[in-house]
């Protein structure tokens, strides 16, 4: 394995290959190559590079930052006030989180929660209000406090079932519904999910809510619970809702809008830089079959690592995502099986001499990955003294092997058993590549134990990757079944069990719920993983819901996802 770093931005600009000139590679890449599999009819991204470069935010950032700093101090004063009621304080914290501001007040929020749990028998003091109890349960669990589900015992009967009389408390039922998504395996609080959903739907049907509450309930039940949402990306939507709530905190509202506009300006600048990188790379001009999803992938990076202090991670994950997308299309629709085996071997060897065995367009793809990953490893070593290249290349090699396995199944017309397919799919969903890169970019302390656990699909990561795989397949299976593609877990499950597609879909939803319960335990338990990486793993799972909740938001654009992306990147307050 070599650790050479071949310079970018143009992957061929300074590359000296052993036996062929760079100019010859570019000329050869223009030769006709018929895709080996039927095209997927992917729609082009609605976000062109001309559109990206046209983005402009005319705010005076320095002035906005000065005002935001003053507002932050005022919010801290309010949080530290001694006269604020416990319920009001919890609602204040909940609003801070939903407005996308929690990263600014992590220390203050943690102090408040520590103060609450330090009160003797605090769980007994919350039993008067279902709304307050459920809100406290959810906030504590999200922030890593191992609060017991016994906190709900005063709302249950002697048999441990939730009492029927609480079903008319709409606000309480909404909070209970949200809290149920933080349950762990084996906890009875999960029963609150069906209980609260059923009663909320009945209350709507019976006309027992006002119009605003009906809208709030319908939005929650038809959309995603907060815990499974990409919180920072959905902040814009909550700001619009919060503006209509009476009363609302004017300081929080102004701060949320200022922060959003400043972050949007930063996002636009980062995206313009990434657009130039991708166009200079030249792959999109040479590999016409491959998807260009730069904007979508940038927003995906924000879903996985939303904090603004990790701007470098946003850019690097976007690069990784775009290269993985091209790689996916190479294995799915371009390469023959023989070519893909050669390419997989080249990635595993990570030696530039391997390009002599590859077709010309695959040479371009190999060098793009080789140069980009080596460049990232170089930057990490330069800044932090960490030798990460062997771990990065191992992750890419494992990904290519998983893609190759799926290609072999396709070419040999094999539909593998469901569990066999899913085992491979946990790798092909790109989680190991993303988490390995993210670990080096967001974690302060790097350990061999964590790196080994990532590479070997630790239980935490297995659940995260499974959720994204299953949400992806739920969103894309209809199109894939129509074109005869077997690289889908639903196809595999139906083939193995002979159940109707709708039954398979219901089963997959129960699997997703089960994996979420497993993920949730890592919020409240000590593990080998730093909290920052646990959060990345959870966000990776959330990104599947964000992209695929309303269908295939990646291969086939839908208006809902397009509108969400525009709200994050285009339209300021």
- With beta carbons less than 8 A apart as the criterion, state whether 196 and 155 touch: no
Closest CA to 573 of 99, 71, 47, 45: 99
pLDDT score, position 43: 82
Can you spell out the DSSP letters for 445-488? S--HHHHHHHHTT-HHHHHHHHHHHHHHHHHHHHHHHHTT---S
**Looking at beta carbons, which pairs linking 274-277 to residues 24 or more positions away fall under 8 Å?**
274/298, 274/315, 274/318, 274/319, 275/49, 275/52, 275/53, 276/9, 277/8, 277/9, 277/319
Q: Looking at the predicted structure, is the pLDDT value of residue 459 above 90?
A: yes
- With beta carbons less than 8 A apart as the criterion, state whether 326 and 290 touch: yes
Least confident of 119-128, 286-295, 365-374, 437-446: 119-128
Tens digits of per-residue pLDDT, 228-284? 999 889 999 999 999 988 889 999 999 999 999 999 999 999 999 999 999 999 998
pLDDT score, position 555: 54
Domains and CATH numbers, the chain: 69-256 (1.50.10.130), 282-569 (1.10.600.10)
pLDDT score, position 38: 55
Tens digits of per-residue pLDDT, 177-233? 999 999 999 999 999 999 999 999 999 999 889 888 999 999 999 999 999 999 889
Q: What confidence category does residue 483 fall into, taking pLDDT thresholds of 50, 70 and 90?
A: low
Residue 229, token pair as written in the block: 């949402």
Q: Looking at the predicted structure, is the pLDDT value of residue 334 above 80?
A: yes
Closest CA to 218 of 241, 239, 235: 241
Q: Rounded to an integer, what distance in angstroms lies between the CA atom of residue 568 and that of residue 306?
A: 12
Q: What confidence category does residue 32 fall into, taking pLDDT thresholds of 50, 70 and 90?
A: very low
What is the residue-averaged pLDDT of the chain?
A: 90
Q: What confidence category does residue 519 fall into, taking pLDDT thresholds of 50, 70 and 90?
A: very high
Q: Which residue has the higher pLDDT, 210 or 511?
A: 511
Tens digits of per-residue pLDDT, 67-118? 999 999 999 999 988 788 889 999 999 999 999 999 999 999 999 999 988 8
pLDDT score, position 60: 87
Least confident of 297-306, 359-368, 548-557, 564-573: 548-557
Burial bucket for residue 561 (CB in 10 Å: 0-12, 13-18, 19+) = buried
Q: Looking at the predicted structure, is the pLDDT value of residue 8 above 50?
A: no
pLDDT score, position 122: 75
pLDDT score, position 440: 98
pLDDT score, position 368: 98
Per-residue DSSP letter, 44: P
Q: Rounded to an integer, what distance in angstroms lies between the CA atom of residue 563 and that of residue 571?
A: 10
pTM comes to 0.91
Least confident of 60-64, 409-413, 518-522, 546-550: 546-550
Tens digits of per-residue pLDDT, 161-170? 999 999 999 9
pLDDT score, position 550: 77
Q: Looking at the predicted structure, is the pLDDT value of residue 30 above 90?
A: no
Q: In the predicted model, what is the mean pLDDT of residues 515-522? A: 98
Q: In the predicted model, what is the mean pLDDT of residues 540-555? A: 82
Q: In the predicted model, what is the mean pLDDT of residues 419-436? A: 98
Beta bridge partners of 162: 156
């Amino acid at each position: 394995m070599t650790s050479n770093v071949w310079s970018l931005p143009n992957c061929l600009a300074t590359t000296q290959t052993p036996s062929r000139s760079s100019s010859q590679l570019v000329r050869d890449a223009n030769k006709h190559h018929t895709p080996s599999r039927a095209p997927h009819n992917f729609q082009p991204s609605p976000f062109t590079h001309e559109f990206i470069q046209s983005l402009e935010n005319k705010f005076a950032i320095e002035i906005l930052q000065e005002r935001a700093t003053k507002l932050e101090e005022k919010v801290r004063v309010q949080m530290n006030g001694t006269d604020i009621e416990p319920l009001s304080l919890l609602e204040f914290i909940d609003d801070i989180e939903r407005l996308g501001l929690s990263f600014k007040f992590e220390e203050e929020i943690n102090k408040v929660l520590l103060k609450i749990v330090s009160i003797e028998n605090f769980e007994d003091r919350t039993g008067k209000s279902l709304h307050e109890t459920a809100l406290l349960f959810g906030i504590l669990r999200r922030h890593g406090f191992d609060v017991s589900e016994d906190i709900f015992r005063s709302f249950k009967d002697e048999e441990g079932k939730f009492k029927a009389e609480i079903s008319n408390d709409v606000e309480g039922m909404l909070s209970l519904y949200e809290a149920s998504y933080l349950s762990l395996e084996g906890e009875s609080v999960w029963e609150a999910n069906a209980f609260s959903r059923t009663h909320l739907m009945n209350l709507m049907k019976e006309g027992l809510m006002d119009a605003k509450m009906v809208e709030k309930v319908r939005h929650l039940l038809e959309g995603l619970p907060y815990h499974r949402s990409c919180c920072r990306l959905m902040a814009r939507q909550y700001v619009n809702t919060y503006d209509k709530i009476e009363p609302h905190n004017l300081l929080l509202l102004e701060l949320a809008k200022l922060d959003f506009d400043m972050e949007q300006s930063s996002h636009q600048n980062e995206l313009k830089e990434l657009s130039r990188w991708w166009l200079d790379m030249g792959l999109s001009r040479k590999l016409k079959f491959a998807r260009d999803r730069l904007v979508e992938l940038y927003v995906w990076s924000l879903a996985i690592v939303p904090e603004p202090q990790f701007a470098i991670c946003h850019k690097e994950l976007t690069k990784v995502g775009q290269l993985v997308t091209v790689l996916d299309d190479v294995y799915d629709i371009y390469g023959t099986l023989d070519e893909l085996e050669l390419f997989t071997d080249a990635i595993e060897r990570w030696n530039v001499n391997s390009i002599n065995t590859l077709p010309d367009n695959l040479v371009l793809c190999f060098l793009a990955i080789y140069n980009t990953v080596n460049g990232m490893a170089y930057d990490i070593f330069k800044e932090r003294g960490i030798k990460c290249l062997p771990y990065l290349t191992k992750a890419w090699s494992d990904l290519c092997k998983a893609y190759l396995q799926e290609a072999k199944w396709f070419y040999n017309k094999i539909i593998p058993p469901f569990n066999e397919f899913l085992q491979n799919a946990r790798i092909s969903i790109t989680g190991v590549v993303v988490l390995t890169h993210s670990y080096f970019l967001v974690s302060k302390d790097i350990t061999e134990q964590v790196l080994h656990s990532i590479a070997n699909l630790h239980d935490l990561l297995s659940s995260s990757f499974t959720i994204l795989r299953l949400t992806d397949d739920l969103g894309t299976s209809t199109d894939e079944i129509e074109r005869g593609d077997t690289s889908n877990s639903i196809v595999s499950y139906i083939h193995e069990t002979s159940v109707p597609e709708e039954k398979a879909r219901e089963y997959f939803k129960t699997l997703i719920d089960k994996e979420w319960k497993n993920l949730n335990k890592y919020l409240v338990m000590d593990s080998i993983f730093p909290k920052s990486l646990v959060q990345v793993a959870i966000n990776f799972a959330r990104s599947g819901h964000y992209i695929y909740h309303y269908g295939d938001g990646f291969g086939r654009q839908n208006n809902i996802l397009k509108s969400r992306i525009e709200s994050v990147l285009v339209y300021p307050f």
